Structure 1
Amino acid sequence: MTSPNFLIRPLTKADYPQVVEIYEHGLDTGHATYERHAPTWQKFSSVKIMETAFVAVEASDNTTVLGWVTAAPVSQRAVFHGVVEDSIYIHPDARGRGVAGALLDKLIEVCIELEKWAIHSWIFPENEGSKKLHQSRGFEKAGTLTHMAKMPYGELKGHWRDTDIWEKLLPKPDIPV
């Protein structure tokens, strides 16, 4: 997938230092994840569905990462093999360029190819940008989990966090009975 100023390609190990930098920008906001630290490449590549891992890069150099997207299984239970949770992070300097929408579109396309039937996204209610992005791609708010975790750091120190669950149902794959 391309745009006049960026292209989307599979995420590689060589991209990972920039992926971590972008992830840490999200961590610094206090509105992106419950995690406190970026995982190692080994951990990241073992918990993500790597066929769904993509980066948007500057078209001019094909190496400057503007953002990334991946999916991970929501459960290890076999009955949920078609349901994934997305992760999407955009470098602050790349916002407003269509990067997030293009990455999420690519993820949806690949999840359909992989015969997934739902994508979930856990979004803090304060993360307006992520809510609007997901809503623009047909995700619907499925519910809110209250008091999920007490955040022990950052600007929201000591506050319990709610999490909204957003869901996009994909076409049902043909599964033999």
Structure 2
Amino acid sequence: MSRNFHIRPLTKNDYPQVVEIYEHGLDTGHATYERHALPWEKFSAVKIMETAYVAVEADDDSTVLGWVTAAPVSQRQVFHGVVEDSIYIHPDAQGRGVAGALLDKLIEVCIELNKWAIHSWIFPENEGSRKLHQSRGFEKAGTLTHMAKMPYGELKGHWRDTDIWEKLLPKPEIVV
């Protein structure tokens, strides 16, 4: 399959389309616990911006088809090599290989940044995201159940289970 899109770093100018795509995910009810997109200033502060990429039409560098980023899983220094991914594709771009290409790019960049694991929190109902992550070597590490009543487990008045998927990357060299 020839790619009719390319991947480039996400910029502030892309952010209105990033938000639009994210809101499509919010509308599904199976993409995130969040209720609203963050303003650019907060988004760019909580994400590892070296991992932020968009897929754009090959003949139109301004039409965003999807995006990917990573964020630290913890503020504790001991976990600096573990990130959580976010990947969202415009509904009209699904089935074109955009998600796989973006996730491949994220994995590549995380290895370059000496990360050693990527986590993805996926609602069990989000079959597309599960299949995508499995296709890239992620393994299900466990499930946080609604029984735990964790503060991040409620969405629109319902408690949700969340599957944790993990991809272990090559261990970076330890410099002493």
CA gap of 1:102–1:149, structure 2 versus 1, over 3 A, is farther
The separation in 1 between residues aligned to 2:101 and 2:112, in whole angstroms, is 17
CA gap of 1:154–1:146, structure 2 versus 1, over 3 A, is closer
TM-score, with length taken from structure 1: 0.93
CA contact (8 A) 1:150 1:158 kept: no
Gaps of at least 5 residues in structure 2 are none
* Residue in structure 1 matched with residue 115 of structure 2 by the alignment: 116
Q: Shift in Å at residue 147 of structure 1?
A: 1.4
The separation in 1 between residues aligned to 2:119 and 2:136, in whole angstroms, is 12
The separation in 2 between residues aligned to 1:16 and 1:23, in whole angstroms, is 10
The separation in 2 between residues aligned to 1:39 and 1:115, in whole angstroms, is 27
CA gap of 1:44–1:136, structure 2 versus 1, over 3 A, is same
Runs of 4+ in 1 over 2 A off after TM superposition: 148-158
Deviations 1:8-43 (A, max 9, x none): 000000000000000000000000000000000000
Question: What SS does the corresponding residue of 1:38 show, helix, strand or coil?
Answer: coil
Identity %: 90
User: Which deviates more from structure 2 when the two are superposed, residues 157-166 or residues 66-75?
Assistant: 157-166
CA gap of 1:152–1:163, structure 2 versus 1, over 3 A, is closer
Q: Shift in Å at residue 159 of structure 1?
A: 1.8
The separation in 2 between residues aligned to 1:156 and 1:78, in whole angstroms, is 30
CA contact (8 A) 1:151 1:157 kept: no
CA gap of 1:65–1:150, structure 2 versus 1, over 3 A, is farther
How many pairs does the alignment contain? Answer: 175
